[in-house]
Amino acid sequence: MIALIDYGMGNIFSVKKALELCGAGVLVTNNPADILSCEKIVLPGVGAFDDAMFELEKQGLVPVIKNEVKSKKPFLGICLGMHLLFENSEEAKIRKGLGILKGRVRKFLKGSQKVPHIGWNQVNLNNSGPMADGRWPMQCPLLKNIKDGSYVYFCHSYYVEPDDKSIVALTCDYGVDFTAGVWQGNVYGVQFHPEKSQEVGLKILENFVNLC
C-alpha cells in the first residue's frame, strides 16, 4: 500500500489514478498512523512553497515524513513535493523546507524562455561519466527502461539545485540545464508530472510501485 499524502496542495486524484493503473493500492491520507502503516509514500504538490510547508506543519506531518524517510521507506516527491525535500526556496518568504536533501530551490530567470515552464520537454539521464573515484554512477531504479531524451510534462517556475550533484538522476534544458529528477537512497523526486506524462510517466510510477 502506498500512502499518498493529501495536505491540500495539488492534483491528488490524478496521481492516485495513475498509481492504481500501475497496480498499486493507494491510500489518500493526512493521518500519521495511516502513513506509518504503508510501505511507500508519495508527496505530490502544486502551489506555493510557504503554503505547503504551513499545511504540513499544521497537520503534524513534518516529523512523520522525516522519520519514515530515515527508516528507509521508499519516498517519492512530485513537483512541489520534490521542492519541499530541500532546505529552502527562493519562493519562500517565511518557511524552510524539510531539509531531507541538501540544497535549495531556484526561480527561472526571465529570458528567451517563457516562465512558467509548461508543456512537454525532454529529460536526459545523468550519464555524465565516472565519478572522482573512477566508479560509474548507478542508474536510478526509478528510471529502469526509460530512454535518454524521453518527453515528459512540466508545469513549474522553480527548480531544485542540489548541493551534491551525484544525486541528480535527470536533467532538462530550458534555457538553463536544470535538475529534473533526484535520487538519494530511498528518496526520489521528479520535477515533472508523471501522472500527466503518458507512457513514460506511467513507467516511472510503475518502477516506484515495484521497488522492494
**Which of the residues are catalytic?**
79, 193, 195
* Positions of E strands within the chain: 2-5, 26-29, 40-43, 75-78, 88-89, 103-107, 117-122, 124-125, 151-156, 158-162, 168-173, 177-184, 187-190
| Cβ-Cβ contacts under 8 Å for 127 (sequence gap 6 or more) | 137, 148
State how far the alpha carbon of 206 is from the alpha carbons of 18, 48, 120, 195, 199, in Å: 9, 28, 20, 11, 10
